[in-house]
Chains A and B, each alone.
Chain A
Amino acid sequence: MKRKINVNGDALEVDVPDDKPLLWVLREDLHLTGAKYGCGIAQCGACTVLLDGSAVRSCVMPVSAVGEQQVTTIEGADGPAAAAVTSAWRDLDVVQCGYCQTGQMMSATALLETNPSPSDQEIDSAMRGNLCRCNTYYRIRAAIHRAADEMEG
């Protein structure tokens, strides 16, 4: 059915089944391919986007559950936390294959929005849901600390 969803500041109309996950609506209907498919069962975080600022796994969220909430994808991520995350990710060259990284960055952004100077443990618990098979975790942790410093400074 036809519905409107708010994505990256725009109210967009899509015509999709109610149970279609937000991930596939973003990717197939709105051509926002930054969020990735990795598992489809909320186990890997590759599909992470922000819903009213909180990180969610879009692969298990039916589009009908989005309602009026604001969806932010990597393509529309802005604000101080997103900017700090992007520059830290680039400064430290966190990426390898890169497939998981947009999801990692969205989770990191959501973390820094609520906790501007997280400890290692807080980073671990916020980022545990984001798998990286290239195992870039060491740099992800360092980049989050760096982004936090940058936001502070």
Chain B
Amino acid sequence: MFENGRFSAKFPRPTLDRRGFLQVIGLSGAGFLIGCSRSGETVTAGGDPDGAAIAEFGPFIRIGSDNAVTVVIKHLDKGQGVTTGLPTIVAEELDAAWTQMRAEFAPADVSLYNNLSWGPIQGTGGSSSVANSWMQLREAAAAARSMLVTAASEKWQVASDEITVSSGVVGHRASGNSATFGDLAARAAGVAPPATLTLKKPQDFSLIGTRLPRLDSPAKTDGSAEFTIDISRPGMVVALVAHPPRFGATVRSFDASQSLEVAGVSDVVEIPRGVAVVADSFWSAKKGRDALTVDWDFSKAENRSSEEIFAHYKELAQGDGLVAHESGDAAASLASAQATVRREFRFPFLAHAAMEPMDCVVEIGDQKCDIWTGSQFQTNDQYVAAEILGIQPEQVEIHTHFAGGSFGRRAVPDSDYVAEAVTIAKAIGGRAPVKLIWTREDDMRAGRYRPMSHHVLEGGVDDSGEVSAWRHKVTMQSFMAGTAFEAMIQNGIDGSSVEGARNLPYAIENMRVELQPAENGVPTLWWRSVGHSHNAFATEAFFDEMAHLAGKDPYEYRRDLLAEHPRYLQVLDLVAKKAGWGDSLGENRGRGIAIHKSYGTIVAEVVDVTLTGNSFTVDKVYCAVDCGIAINPDVVRAQMEGGIGFGLSAALREQVTLENGEVQQTNFNTYRSLRIDEMPDIEVHIVPSNREPSGVGEPGVPPLAPALANALFDASGRRVYRLPIGDQLWS
């Protein structure tokens, strides 16, 4: 689908010469536009009033004559706070006042807005938004600041090095001149961009690292924030789709006569993914779909139950896997160990179940198509839509909107729900704009789950009492196989499947990590923290058991085996200190610890539990995080809190199961997500750092479940090898 197929998980950041740099931040050539171009969607209230002159400083920064500084956000904000974090970076280098900052989603344009961590694709994921934008936005803002200074120096006829910039005011003390950015913007956009840039030193940051209010809070607390589901276009129709009840089933025939009798229903059309019912409103479309009868062909469907698929995995796990990591000789060390343990772990399919079910608005024009959605893979969505319509990707304009959560669900290699909406719009001849809405039931049963997996862990303690052997075999479906990302699979190994398992930081002499690829008909996808979501559990719960076998305290033993990793130690020590590790908790209580690095960020969590009869409560979670420079510490804390809740929810009860190919869960009554009464008290501590920032959207999730399982062991003496925990400790 993409010509050069150039995808690499860690696309190296280009080291740029000046020309290259100017191209990257979009200041090459003389094209500084002044005008009112409005291609993206404003995400913050109080944007520039219509008619304010807008000066553009490259593709990321616009300054209005009204003094508003708008940062063009190339990433999707699905709650993780990039519409606050990215403007913070700009405001810092620009020396702007926080109150003048605005955010607006970028249009889809891979030549300007690609994710630098990924290569030629515009998209959001892998907790990479801040990390890949960090230098790009700092440089863009430093250039804009320098141009404002040059403009002031020309205007006031004073030396530019005598000019100061502070809180959005440009001043010259000796002459008494001062001006706002808005006063200078038009002139500044016309001056030559600087030949060299000086970026601030971290110790001079005045906004980064402070608590700044989220820019999206006002709109999200008065009902004005526009999500995809809120979009209305003139003449728009609403479509619901009857999807096959099993993955891979197809339509044999359908009877639309009853549907078409429902008032408001205009069309019933077959599409590759089912049968679409189009109506004047959601309610009519819903009633129309309820009245539809479809005869499904299950001959090519996945007709097994999840239990059968899992039994198959267990069998597969007996064979040799592909070696994802090897150091020393784990087999020999296990054979000569004083004591060994072998455990099997099992993790279920999980739904993303974002609060806003998948939805998309499509309007087809002549040789063009407009798409409104919380797009997480703009480039992908453009290509998929273009292919369906037979037009060029650039002719697909994407209007990215706030997404009501995603957790990975909106970054789909085949753009499933976008493709569905475009297909329906095409099927009705482009007659009207189409809003596709998945009901909760559709969303829950549409697949693209976090893959189920089976893990075998074996460990050995040698005669000196140390863990000397570690063998881990992961059996699961690939995330990338059969998608546009297939090129990322190396030697048969999908790195995402074994991330967090193949690069364990512990000093264990003999380690072997294997991947046993499995296949089935259930479509899967990355789910907040991807491979780390299961590997952190398997490794950190098993490490705890090994520490126990070696007769060591689980925190102290982690310390011992992380001695070569000062960053890990700092995080681990911080959480242990804040939690008062070693203090006695009292009757029926227990405490567990886990640490895990994902997406460059290290998070350690301590979980306290109380046993209550045949159940337990999670009382408190202590969290320490090293994410490099914390751009906005309050957003970092929020992501840790949310990640902890998300991890806890999955650990306690979440699972998608299949019975004869049919998904058993339909809605939030059967897919039981955490509610407020189960939310523990949380303390988040951030390790001070001058390192480049890394992501925070996902890394809070992985350590929670193993820390909880370790706490339950501490309290009850029983270990958890299967998620969700449910009531297995008592049954």
- Which A residues form the contact surface with B (CB < 8 A)? 16-17, 19-21, 24, 27-28, 31-41, 43-44, 46, 73-75, 86, 89-90, 93-102, 105, 123-125, 127-128, 130-141
Chain B residue numbers with a CB within 8 Å of A20 are 281, 283
Q: How many Å lie between the Cα of A137 and that of B221 in the bound state?
A: 15
Q: Are B679 and A141 in contact (CB under 8 A)?
A: yes
Taking CB as reference atom, which chain A residue is nearest B682? A138
Closest CB in chain A relative to B645 CB, distance in Å? 2
A131 in complex: contacting residue of B263, B643, B675, CB < 8 Å: B675
Which among A90, A96, A102, A133 is the interface contact of B223 at CB below 8 angstroms?
Answer: A102
A19-B283, A24-B281, A138-B679 known; 10 new pairs, CB 8 Å cut-off, are A28-B282, A36-B356, A37-B282, A40-B667, A94-B221, A96-B81, A98-B402, A135-B643, A135-B649, A138-B682
Complex interface bits, B85-112 against A, C-beta within 8 A gives 1, otherwise 0 = 0000000000000000000000000000
Neighbour of B668 across the interface among A44, A73, A75, CB < 8 A: A44
User: Which B residues are in CB contact (< 8 Å) with A43?
Assistant: 667-669
Contact present for A37 and B679 (CB under 8 Å): no
**Is B194 an interface residue when CB atoms closer than 8 A count as contact?**
no
Of the candidates A24, A38, A90, A105, which one forms a contact with B218 in the assembled complex, judged by CB atoms under 8 Å apart? A90
Q: Digit string of B201-235 for contact with A (CB within 8 Å is 1, else 0)? A: 00000000000011011111111111101101000
Q: Which of A46, A86, A124 contacts B355, CB < 8 Å?
A: A46
Q: Given the complex of chains A and B, what is the CA–CA distance between A137 and B644 in angstroms? A: 11
Task: Digitize B394-437: 1 where CB-to-A-CB distance is under 8 Å, 0 elsewhere.
Answer: 00000000111111000000000000000000000000000001
A96 to B214, CA, bound (A): 9
Centre residue among A28, A35, A73 by max chain B CB count within 10 A: A28
In whole angstroms, what is the CA distance A147 to B580 when docked? 32
Residue pair A133, B679 in contact (C-beta under 8 Å):
no
Partner of B676, one of A27, A39, A128: A128
Question: 21 pairs across A/B with beta carbons < 8 Å?
Answer: A28-B281, A28-B282, A34-B223, A36-B404, A37-B282, A37-B357, A37-B437, A44-B668, A89-B217, A90-B217, A94-B221, A96-B81, A96-B405, A98-B216, A131-B675, A132-B355, A133-B354, A135-B644, A135-B679, A136-B645, A141-B679
Within 8 A of A (CB), among B68-127: 77-81
Among residues of B, the one whose C-beta sits closest to the C-beta of A90 is: B217
State whether the Cβ of B320 lies closer than 8 Å to any Cβ in chain A: no
Assembly CA distance A34 to B229 (angstroms): 11
Given A21-B283, A135-B646, A39-B223 contact (CB < 8 Å)? no
B634 to chain A: which residues have CB within 8 Å?
A: 93
Is B340 engaged at the interface, CB distance under 8 Å to the other chain? no
On whether A137 and B223 interact (CB within 8 A), knowing A44-B668, A93-B214, the answer reads no
Give every chain A residue within 8 A of B232 (Cβ-Cβ): 31
Q: How far is the CA of A34 from the CA of B673 in the complex (A)?
A: 23
Say whether B217 contacts A99, CB under 8 Å.
no
Within 470-486 of B, Cβ neighbours of A (below 8 Å) are at none
Contact A93 B217 (CB under 8 A): yes
How far apart are A111's CB and chain B's nearest CB, in angstroms? 12
Instruction: Pick the contact of B213: A93, A135, A138, A139 (CB < 8 A).
Output: A93
B24 to chain A, nearest CB (A): 30
CB pair B404 A39 closer than 8 Å: no
A31 to B356, CA, bound (A): 18
A93 CA / B230 CA spacing, docked (Å): 22
List 7 A-B pairs, minimum CB-CB distance, nearest first.
A135-B645, A34-B223, A99-B404, A97-B79, A98-B220, A96-B79, A137-B679
Say whether chain A's binding surface is mostly helix, strand, loop, or mixed. loop
Chain A contacts of B79 at CB under 8 A?
A: 95-98, 134
Take A28-B281, A134-B79, A141-B679 as given contacts and tell me if A86 and B222 are in contact as well, using a CB distance cutoff of 8 Å.
yes
Closest chain A residue to B673 by CB distance? Answer: A131
Which residues of A are found within 8 Å of B221, using beta-carbon distances?
Answer: 86, 89-90, 94-95, 98, 101-102, 105
A95 touches B674 (CB 8 A): no
Q: Which residues of B contact A128 (CB under 8 A)?
A: 675-677
Docked-complex contact A39 and B227, CB < 8 angstroms:
no
Q: Which residues of A contact B643 (CB under 8 A)?
A: 135
Number of A-B contacts (CB under 8 A): 179
| A100 CA to B81 CA, complexed, in Å | 16
| Contact assessment for A39 and B356 in the assembled complex, using a CB-CB cutoff below 8 Å | no
| B153 interface hit (Cβ, 8 Å) | no
Q: Chain B residues with Cβ under 8 A from A90's Cβ?
A: 213, 217-218, 221
In this complex, what residue of A is CB-closest to B80? A96
Q: Does B641 contact A (CB under 8 A)?
A: yes
Interface residues of B in 164-218 (CB under 8 A from A): 213-214, 216-218
Distance from B232 Cβ to chain A, minimum over Cβ atoms (Å): 7
CB within 8 A of B638: which of A41, A127, A139?
A: A139
State whether A97 and B668 are in contact (beta carbons under 8 Å apart), knowing that A75-B223, A137-B676, A138-B682 are contacts in the complex.
no
Inter-subunit contact A95/B679 (CB<8 Å): no
A14 CB, min distance to chain B CBs, angstroms:
12
Residues of A within 8 A of B677 (CB): 124-125, 128
Q: Is the CB of B641 within 8 A of A139?
A: yes
* A97 with B356: CB separation less than 8 A: yes
A106 to chain B, nearest CB (A): 10
CB pair A37–B229 under 8 Å, yes or no, is yes
Residues of B contacting A34 in the complex (Cβ-Cβ under 8 angstroms): 222-224
Q: A86-B222, A133-B355 are in contact. Are A36 and B227 (CB under 8 A)?
A: yes
Q: Which residues of B contact A101 (CB under 8 A)?
A: 220-221
Give the residues from 663 to 681 in chain B that come closer than 8 angstroms, CB to CB, to chain A.
667-669, 673-677, 679, 681
Instruction: Let me know if A133 and B230 touch, CB within 8 A.
Output: no
Contact A40 B356 (CB under 8 A): no
Q: How far is the CA of A100 from the CA of B668 in the complex (A)?
A: 14
Q: Which of B624-682 contact A (CB under 8 A)?
A: 634-635, 638, 641-646, 648-649, 667-669, 673-677, 679, 681-682
**A130 to B679 alpha-carbon distance, docked (Å):** 13
Chain B residue nearest to A96 in the complex (CB): B79
Task: Report the separation of the CA atoms of residues A17 and B263 in the bound assembly, to the nearest whole angstrom.
Answer: 9
| Chain A residues within an 8 Å CB radius of B218 | 90
Please name the residue on chain B nearest to A127 by beta carbon: B676
